[in-house]
Structure 1
């Protein structure tokens, strides 16, 4: 138990030291994705929030609003997924990827299960 407590202290100290810089990098994440037809470009931030949306005027050649909406939604979702992957990648030296993903997904049970497994030496 003493060894685990020391490990926790060391991990916490490392987090305190390195996390602010990693956090700043994560906050700066911007991912741009293009739609499959190349007519839509969506840029999202680290939380998947839409920062910029560009729509090529050629979309008006096919005036199908449902297709346009679906294409925008799909493009934004792919960009958001890649942004989340990038944030997880940035934090991986400090926080295990599965734990970070569970945290970003709002999966409190998953986070707690992973922490319990770590405390029991299972992960």
Structure 2
């Protein structure tokens, strides 16, 4: 006895093949995108132009350059604040670049949740996508 609600085997097989092909495309693109993301470096200059900060893909400090003119104003607190503010701007730009690179395979909201360390939201979004709800 065959139910009218049950899809036929050929249609199910075709759908499974389509999903498999889509997964392979994502997997192939994912490796290249991951390599691009790992190579991200962003350099940002302070507003006064005396501090230059380069960060990597996770916002980690890669390089710090200080113009010798910083010694004309020996204010350690101001220099420290300038370095931190410049590094934060560079890290934000690196994060944005990572999101742009990975957006074809990871939805932006899900990636943002991962980057924010919000595992609960990331897993909820993934479960909704897997269930066909977006």
**TM norm structure 2:** 0.81
Residue 97 of structure 1 corresponds to 108
**Structure 1 segment 1-123 matched on structure 2, within 5 A:** 9-123=20-134
Q: Distance in 1 between matches of 2:108 and 2:50?
A: 33
Distance 1:108 1:60, change over 3 A: same
Q: Is the 8 A contact 1:48 1:83 kept in 2?
A: yes
Q: Distance in 1 between matches of 2:60 and 2:14?
A: 42
Matched position secondary structure for 2:44:
strand
Q: What CA deviation, in whole Å up to 9, does each residue of 1:78-101 have, x standing for no partner?
A: 101110110110010111111112
**TM norm structure 1:** 0.88
Q: Distance in 1 between matches of 2:32 and 2:53?
A: 27
Distance 1:73 1:11, change over 3 A: farther
Q: Distance in 2 between matches of 1:115 and 1:4?
A: 21
Unaligned runs of 5+ in 2: 1-12
Distance 1:108 1:7, change over 3 A: farther
How many residues of Structure 1 are paired with residues of Structure 2 in the alignment?
122
Q: Is the 8 A contact 1:4 1:119 kept in 2?
A: no
